[in-house]
Structure 1
Amino acid sequence: MRSCVLPSRILSLLVLAALASGCGRDNDAPAASAAAPGGTRTAAPAAAHADEAGADSDVQKRADAIAAQFPPIPVIVVPEILGVSPAQRALESAMAPVLDPIAGVSVSPARCGTDGVLLNDAGITSVDAQGNLSRNGDAGIFKIAADGSGSANYEGGLITINADGSGSINGDGRDEDGEGGALVRVEADGSGSYNGPAGVIALDGKGGGSWNGDSGLIRNNGDGSGTWNGPQGLVTINNDGSGRWNGPLGIVVVNGDGTGSIDTPAKPVKLPPLPKVAPAGRFPPLKKFAPPGAPCGYLITLNDRVLFDFDKADIRSDAAKVLDALAAALKDVRSTGMEVGGHTDAKGSDDYNQALSDRRAQAVVAALRERGAAQQATAKGYGEARPVAPNEIGGQDNPGGRQLNRRVEIFVRT
């Protein structure tokens, strides 16, 4: 998971595991033969069972296809609440038709170190040997004591920080339309809440959380189970591997023991158990949020599912809407440079991931140039070297984290 940064950003905090696509099993009827009254076996039932087996095979094939589409419970994304400049708002406005954190398209501020290199992480920056920070400049007014307490008034947002990492953020940096403000409360144990344009987000600091926003209601119970009631219907995962999806493909029931059912009335099929939902994260202590470096542009992130099929570098035809909106927005952005970076998860070899990320970055640059944008952009693949979320949790595979790591980032330097 990406470290949260304030006041410039709060990024993805908790990864709710994406459900694995399932492999089906056969549901053939048991072979049987009937005996005639005189004790002679007849071949008629065998023919009937052959027909039934064929029908069951068709049902299982459809079950396999449905299992492959079983929607993942999304990552809960704590959105940007401070440090959103008028230029970034203009960029977001131009990209409005495609911006969707659940679908995997977002814009966030970028910060660079003194060497001009894009920073991926942030922490409190001390300005004297005792660790006291006091800064008054274009970035805002910061007064932070050596124990981490203090305040920051940043582009209309007031942050109050206590020594234990708790505190509050009043993101009153609204634009002329009243958009952009948010209230955030963070406790020392990692619990807290967010109430702003993205909806209402709550974390209990113990692995549970919820997000009630435009994409529906997402709940993580913190015990390996969770629900998502949204555009794909109602998805439920229990911590014993069972679950249920009531959506556009009908009712899918997973029993957790390798069996399940589809359709109404229910038809028994083989369905694999569902992986547990990864525990929700916690709000990082606020004292870790004051960013080093200086604002240097914007970072546009596109999840790999937005543009590519699995393990492919050819942009899908249905990604045209995203690329059209992105190219139109980039044409109006004043920049001093642009880099398109490809990133993968940790599955596969380093060399393979490096090559795949290179090809994907080059494909995005080519697609944008065809649309009259990004003429001076460079393409670079980073492979698995720059994860923004753990590929594993406690030695176990973390599908939700790997999903966040498979991405293309467009760094627009301003």
Structure 2
Amino acid sequence: MFLTACGSSSSNSKKKSSSSTTASKSADDKFIVSGYKLGVIPEIPIPEIKGLGLVESTDAKITLDMTKSLSSVEGITVTPVRIKNGQVTSGSATVQTGEDGEGQYSDDEKSVQTDGSGAGQYTDGTVTIQRAPDGSGQYSDTKNKITMQVISDGSGQFNNEKDGISLQVTSTGEGSYKNEEKDQSITVVGDKAIYKHGDIVIMNNGDGTGSYTDSSKSLIIKNDGQGIATITLGSETKKVKADPLDAYGKLPKLKVVPAIPAVEANSIKITLDAGVLFDVDKYNIRKDAQKVLNDLAGILKKADIKSFQIDGHTDSDASEAHNQTLSENRANSVKKYLASQGVSATITTKGYGESKPIATNKTAAGKQKNRRVEITIPTV
């Protein structure tokens, strides 16, 4: 009788413990930023300026304007790319005019003066380029409402009036960035960075301390830089362990002025931060992420896209084998969801694990960039 009673008590204890853990986890959910662990302040994103060496095809089935419902979402970027012989070229690429292309040329449409190295002047009525040998100069595109002034050290100004994007940056990475479409701004002064996105404000003081505020949810997270985060939700407060914040990686410097006019894209690449779709280390699509994929499904069906590629990528945390499997599962989850929404195109998926990083894995911000799903869609 004693042994039987003891066994029953142990069993009940385990059930209570399991139930208590589940209840505790559920209670903690309201204190968590979606896609992050309890007490973690999201990294301030490092903005990207689309390269000027690539433009959309006039025959594109899917255009950047058609994808504004996606690109306006924080954590999603949409970029025209050119794919040829398996190589993907984004807007940062330039095309040379020839080894000994120095001289002058003009006709009814364009005028070119070059020293053969990409420096010189160019105008075609829409695009005007003035470029020095060191890559500094000015760029203007009246059709796409883009202007850029660049100094050789990467400092300068960029303005894309059409997309509401502007960047002013010094040689040390200080300055300001604004994206009106995403209601997003970043200001960097010294080591301190301030990020605003709608009701959300993130502050990184550069010394491990910082804060996250979401006024719409009355949620505040403060990191003391000493291993503790204090979370306040309305009148409730709790303290949890949290690593100090990584220092912000500064604003991006401007790339050199393009040497020649843009080449034409033949595809579009949609990059989604993993946190937009998935919880940490999971591959099931969150319910609040379904709208993003519903919008994408509608775009794909309207454009009658016949085939496209979905690639999964991770950071270097965990083992290579784990990351490889996670990247494959995430790509397949997106494929299955799109198919469930009536997308009949042939969808190819591939997981790359941690093998194709686009940023350093030594910082939290870099890891966030590397945790992504890329969808490449032929547009012509």
TM-score scaled to structure 2, two decimals? Answer: 0.74
Whole-angstrom CA distance in 2 between matches of 1:320 and 1:142 = 49
Name the SS of the counterpart of 2:64 in structure 1.
helix
Residue in structure 2 matched with residue 398 of structure 1 by the alignment? 363
Residue in structure 1 matched with residue 322 of structure 2 by the alignment? 352
User: How far did 1:321 drift?
Assistant: 0.7
Structure 1, residues 47-71: CA drift from partner, whole Å, max 9, x if none?
Answer: xxxxxxxxxxxxxx89985862534
Whole-angstrom CA distance in 1 between matches of 2:255 and 2:146 = 17
Two-structure CA RMSD over aligned residues (Å): 3.7
Equivalent residue in structure 1 for 2:218, among 249, 258, 263: 249
User: How far did 1:123 drift?
Assistant: 3.9
Structure 1, residues 36-94: CA drift from partner, whole Å, max 9, x if none?
Answer: xxxxxxxxxxxxxxxxxxxxxxxxx8998586253432322324666134555954343
1:187 aligned onto 2:151: yes
Residue in structure 1 matched with residue 21 of structure 2 by the alignment? none
User: How far did 1:109 drift?
Assistant: 1.0
1:205 aligned onto 2:171: yes
TM-score scaled to structure 1, two decimals? Answer: 0.69
Which residues of structure 1 form unaligned runs of 5+? 1-60, 174-179, 392-396
Judge conservation of contact 1:208–1:220 (CA < 8 Å) in 2.
yes
Whole-angstrom CA distance in 1 between matches of 2:179 and 2:278 = 27
Q: In 2 relative to 1, CA 146–353 (structure 1 residues): closer, same or farther, beyond 3 Å? A: farther
Whole-angstrom CA distance in 2 between matches of 1:330 and 1:142 = 40
Q: In 2 relative to 1, CA 83–254 (structure 1 residues): closer, same or farther, beyond 3 Å? A: same
Amino acid at match of 1:249: S
Whole-angstrom CA distance in 1 between matches of 2:142 and 2:210 = 41
Judge conservation of contact 2:246–2:363 (CA < 8 Å) in 1.
no
User: How far did 1:290 drift?
Assistant: 6.9
Whole-angstrom CA distance in 2 between matches of 1:63 and 1:369 = 32
User: How far did 1:346 drift?
Assistant: 2.3
Judge conservation of contact 1:127–1:133 (CA < 8 Å) in 2.
no
Q: How many residues align?
A: 339
User: How far did 1:287 drift?
Assistant: 4.7
Structure 1, residues 122-177: CA drift from partner, whole Å, max 9, x if none?
Answer: 544345444769999xxx9987543331345589333332211112221222xxxx
User: How far did 1:364 drift?
Assistant: 1.3
Whole-angstrom CA distance in 1 between matches of 2:326 and 2:260 = 33
1:74 aligned onto 2:45: yes
Within a 5 Å distance, the mapping from 1:152-231 to structure 2 comes to 156-173=126-143, 180-195=144-159, 196=161, 197-214=163-180, 215-223=183-191, 225-231=192-198
Judge conservation of contact 1:205–1:281 (CA < 8 Å) in 2.
no
Whole-angstrom CA distance in 1 between matches of 2:236 and 2:293 = 42
Amino acid at match of 2:254: F
Residue in structure 1 matched with residue 55 of structure 2 by the alignment? 83
Residue in structure 2 matched with residue 14 of structure 1 by the alignment? none
Amino acid at match of 1:240: D
Judge conservation of contact 1:83–1:155 (CA < 8 Å) in 2.
no
Which residues of structure 2 form unaligned runs of 5+? 1-27
Equivalent residue in structure 2 for 1:340, among 296, 310, 318: 310
Deviates more, 1:404-413 or 1:81-90: 81-90
User: How far did 1:286 drift?
Assistant: 2.3
Equivalent residue in structure 2 for 1:238, among 187, 194, 205: 205
Structure 1, residues 193-240: CA drift from partner, whole Å, max 9, x if none?
Answer: 1222323211112121311333243112242x2112332443322122
